[in-house]
Structure 1
Amino acid sequence: MAQSVRDAVRTLMRDWKLTTVFGNPGSTEIAFLADWPDDFRYVLGLQEASVVAMADAFAQLTRNAAVVNLHSAGGLGHGLGSLVTAFHNRAPLILIAGQQSRSLLPGDPFLGALDPTEFPKPYVKWSYQPARAEDVPAAFARAYLLATQAPRGPVYLSVPADDWDQPAEVVQTRPRIADPAPDDEALASVAAALDASERPVLVVGAAVDDDDAVEVAVGLAEKLRAAVWAAPFSARSSFPEDHPLFSGFLPPNRAGVAGVLADHDCVVVLGAPAFTYHVVTGSGPELPPVHVLSDDPQLLARANGVGVRSPQRAGIARLTELVQTSERVPPAARQRPPRLPDPSPGEPLSGAFVYQTLADLLPANALVVEEAPTNRPDMQERLPITARGRGFLTMSSGVLGYGLPAAVGAALAEPGRPVVAVLGDGGSMYGIQALWTAARQQTAVVFVILDNGEYGAVRKHAVRNGAEKVPGIELGGLDFRDLARGMGCAAHQISTATELRTTLEAALASSAPTLLHVRLT
């Protein structure tokens, strides 16, 4: 008996350890899902944007591709916001969306996807609908090898519903494409610039952590005795924030970055753009010479500096070998703010106090997933990420709705690890459906929702720009405790420091998902 397209693709999925599938099904996906294997896991999400965000975090932490199964046209459309984030997060996703049956396509059928390969662009590395049913397995193999090839990222396949039952040839699995070797001559020039420098500085971005290169980055910084800054909007923590060489977080504007770096005479950017800006400012002082190490040719082409194409771990390790051990006086240690006292009776909790309490109570191996933009400065001041790799995730796109479902995907990737998601009230409502998946999958996630009753980041921008009478900012009236309980999670309202500590301790000890609704106003 000849094997089907479905059988051939599942063989590839087994060989590449892609047996967890995230999805929200529709009629055009039935043939893909039929006779679901017992050794496969299907993680159901109740909205496609949440599904993609779960898979994003899962793929980042497993360092393998994740398969996402979405419904034709509309399902992909719902997921596009999270696809933007996955693209910027460099998450290796294989999105498979159902297409209406080939025999119906000439008549523009119900649930048919118009120009399906154009729909997800430009936020995929590759977009394809096979010309013939028998080409689907080979297309899936190409999708996997592209998604996992540096720079990693999402790919998209549109598969007509009647393709899955057609006969197919065996497609052999192949090893993943190796990262490019670092350019030794280019690295030598960077090393020479560092050796000649009096006040060098390193700027680390998400790709350092993505390549498990935090330890080698620490080694390079210590050998150089150089200050280390986190790149603007870095979606991961790529240097332990309690290290004496860690200086802080670069602001997302040209004048702010230039002002911080003006005291240095050589800048080496590792695994980050140089630089990501968000608000318009003056240009500030002239930047010192900048060198950028990245495996992304697009990033290198637009970077404000000399580009070196290199993976992070191998490139930083080689650079560490090439530079001389420095006798420079190390930079002054970053000053931490004094501890906050407990709020007075009747005084609302602040985001800063919540982060301070989290820092007191989180286990050393906890993973923090964050999406509370208004309170991010409080997090950076009060909750240092001290893990030497894989301790922090957020979205690098600015598209809300990532944090809550991403925490669920992270817990599925590393089920034995404490996962704490710190979220804003506005962003939480973009992915609130993922609480149902958290309960169904029994993921031991602690969700801490900081409720300030508004889109606080939007209000800050309005104030900064002198804009008055801006509508659509106020929220309020959201009861996250009832929402969470209605989807099967334990949940608590928090209004005092004592409630915060005792409830957080209990939630961290629980094996079930728990939500803490903290009203800040």
Structure 2
Amino acid sequence: MTTVREASFAIFRHFGVDALFGNPGSTELPMLRGMPADIPYVLGLSEAVVLGMADGYAQATRRPSLVNLHSSAGTGNALGNLYTAYRNNTPIVVTAGQQARSILPFDPFLGAERPTEFPRPFVKWACEPARAEDVPLALVRAFHIAMTPPMGPTFVSVPVDDWDRECEMPDLPALALTVQPPAKGIARLAAMLDSASKPALVIGAGVARSGGWQAAIDLVERSQADVWCAPLASRETFPESHPRFAGFLPAFREEIVKLLAPYDAILVAGTQAFTYHAEGHGPHVPEGATLGLLSDDPQHLSFQPGGIGVLGDVGDGLRALAKAVTEKPAREAQPRATAPEAAMTAAYALHRIAELRPDNAMLTEEAPTARGAMHDHLPITCEQGFFATASGGIGYALPAAVGLARGAAQRKVIALIGDGSAMYSISGLWSAAEQGSDISFVILNNSRYAALESFGQVFGMNHVPGTDISGIDFVTLAESMGVPARRSDDVATLDEALEWSFGTKGPTLVELVIA
């Protein structure tokens, strides 16, 4: 016999866990007693930061992350970034403290009345085992479900007195299952591309999650399809400097159809067809175009607007397609954006970041107002080169950068964050300093929630209340948490500040005051 704690940590090791992300509370302390040296505790100063760090770490390592939260209050604080992890399809196993079983009938302080309902629907599975000795089996299942595509977070509530109970050590089976795309489906997609006079490939984040970066390049170079990034993609999709990269689809139905109108065959890979941000009208795809969809998520296929749907691992599907399609002669390259005028604008700042950034840098971004300028002037050109929130929730990118830096210690991380976004999880700077994370935090400070002001125009609003957030001093904030920082408010000092940050090992922050 062994204890629940001993069995649990054996399970964690089996699934590749080498860190526990958390912010401790009283009902978690027995789990943390005698923490093993090979699974260090990674502290975040709020539960939102904890989830963001774990998300970035899981994506960087392509292994599941382990998170420990307090009962309802702590879990509630984490829900925003738990929702983001769900939309990011990030494999995270969350354990949450619960009061002792013997006092649960008395509505105890810090007890969670309905612990498995609280995080739903934004976990794939949630469980509070009926008996202490069932905790290890629940954890095994939680890891399997988290890692089985479409991946995502799972949740296990563990009463405080379970950890020292005796239990049997469960069998530790192989890792998660994958579904291979059927050969018949691949053949149909290949025939669709071969018969097209002008094909297009729309790539979503699922390609990055499945390791399909090179497979997408191979497919495009054989089929000569133009490549579009799917609306609001949260990961790198395709090298944006490639001759066949055409641009980014907006999240609006009519605009998508207009941009895809020149194509007679459209293959969507690793995402749905399509993600929208506002109400639209008319067809979902251009008239006369054939639609194909390759995804590991049955939901994407369930509401695709016609065409050919193939379910299975996206990377494997793209590799099979690259071999199956007929090679076509090269076509003229897509045009590229010209360099912006030298001024303290988001466009020029992003252009300089692109010119000065270290090779193979990883970018995490949460600057909604600058997303268009980023698309034009800060191209993503390497695998695992871009990470953002798929949920639209704010407060993800800053702590995610800390997790990315921990998971890919050999690469510089650049965290490009708006001033409003940064304040949602600013305490993540402390974790970056405490871990010595090699991150360049670049804050685009325009003194307001400019994204809301811009989107307000969609609803005919000339004024959006509550958007002025002027007066925040990010240099002082960063330095108070142990992160060296500089400010640039003119073109003359911009390059020097960026070069200092990119050339410094460890966490730094540059505040860019932009128009």
With the shorter chain as reference, the TM-score category is over 0.9
Secondary structure of the residue aligned to 1:162 is: coil
Letter aligned with residue 323 of structure 1: V
Residue 377 of structure 1 corresponds to 372
| Contact 2:192 2:290 survives alignment (8 Å) | no
* In structure 1, C-alpha distance between the alignment counterparts of 2:29 and 2:360, rounded to whole Å: 40
* In structure 1, C-alpha distance between the alignment counterparts of 2:471 and 2:282, rounded to whole Å: 42
| Contact 1:261 1:287 survives alignment (8 Å) | no
Secondary structure of the residue aligned to 1:67 is: strand
Residue 169 of structure 1 corresponds to 168
Residue 393 of structure 1 corresponds to 387
Secondary structure of the residue aligned to 1:292 is: strand
Residue 219 of structure 2 corresponds to 220
Residue 350 of structure 1 corresponds to 345
Query: Normalization by structure 1: what TM-score?
Result: 0.96
| Contact 1:117 1:127 survives alignment (8 Å) | yes
Gaps of at least 5 residues in structure 2 are none
Letter aligned with residue 43 of structure 1: V
Secondary structure of the residue aligned to 1:446 is: strand
Confirm whether residue 66 of structure 1 aligns to residue 65 of structure 2. Answer: yes
Within-5 A mapping of 1:106-255: 106-255=105-254
* In structure 2, C-alpha distance between the alignment counterparts of 1:371 and 1:61, rounded to whole Å: 18
**CA RMSD of superposed structures (Å):** 1.2
| Contact 1:258 1:287 survives alignment (8 Å) | no
Q: What are the Cα deviations for residues 139-163 of structure 1, in whole angstroms up to 9, with x where unaligned?
A: 0011011111111110000110110
Percent identical: 43
Where has structure 1 moved over 6 Å in runs of 4 or more? Answer: none
* In structure 2, C-alpha distance between the alignment counterparts of 1:79 and 1:100, rounded to whole Å: 19
Residue 84 of structure 1 corresponds to 83
* In structure 2, C-alpha distance between the alignment counterparts of 1:101 and 1:71, rounded to whole Å: 13
* In structure 1, C-alpha distance between the alignment counterparts of 2:503 and 2:288, rounded to whole Å: 48
Q: What are the Cα deviations for residues 181-205 of structure 1, in whole angstroms up to 9, with x where unaligned?
A: 1111111111111111111100011
Q: What are the Cα deviations for residues 75-124 of structure 1, in whole angstroms up to 9, with x where unaligned?
A: 11011000111001000000111011101100111001121101111111
Confirm whether residue 290 of structure 1 aligns to residue 291 of structure 2. Answer: yes
Letter aligned with residue 318 of structure 2: I
* In structure 2, C-alpha distance between the alignment counterparts of 1:447 and 1:51, rounded to whole Å: 18
Residue 510 of structure 1 corresponds to 504
Letter aligned with residue 399 of structure 1: G
Secondary structure of the residue aligned to 1:127 is: strand
Residue 103 of structure 1 corresponds to 102
Q: Which moved more, 1:13-22 or 1:162-171?
A: 13-22
* In structure 2, C-alpha distance between the alignment counterparts of 1:257 and 1:204, rounded to whole Å: 14
* In structure 2, C-alpha distance between the alignment counterparts of 1:28 and 1:221, rounded to whole Å: 53
| Contact 2:356 2:499 survives alignment (8 Å) | yes
User: CA shift at 1:497, angstroms?
Assistant: 2.3
Residue 396 of structure 2 corresponds to 402
Corresponding residue pairs, total: 512
User: CA shift at 1:342, angstroms?
Assistant: 2.9
* In structure 2, C-alpha distance between the alignment counterparts of 1:508 and 1:5, rounded to whole Å: 45
* In structure 1, C-alpha distance between the alignment counterparts of 2:493 and 2:96, rounded to whole Å: 45
| Contact 2:487 2:497 survives alignment (8 Å) | no
Secondary structure of the residue aligned to 2:37 is: coil
* In structure 1, C-alpha distance between the alignment counterparts of 2:155 and 2:334, rounded to whole Å: 44
Within-5 A mapping of 1:326-475: 326-327=328-329, 330=331, 332-343=332-343, 349-387=344-382, 389-475=383-469
* In structure 2, C-alpha distance between the alignment counterparts of 1:115 and 1:54, rounded to whole Å: 26
Query: Normalization by structure 2: what TM-score?
Result: 0.97
Letter aligned with residue 319 of structure 1: L
User: CA shift at 1:50, angstroms?
Assistant: 1.1
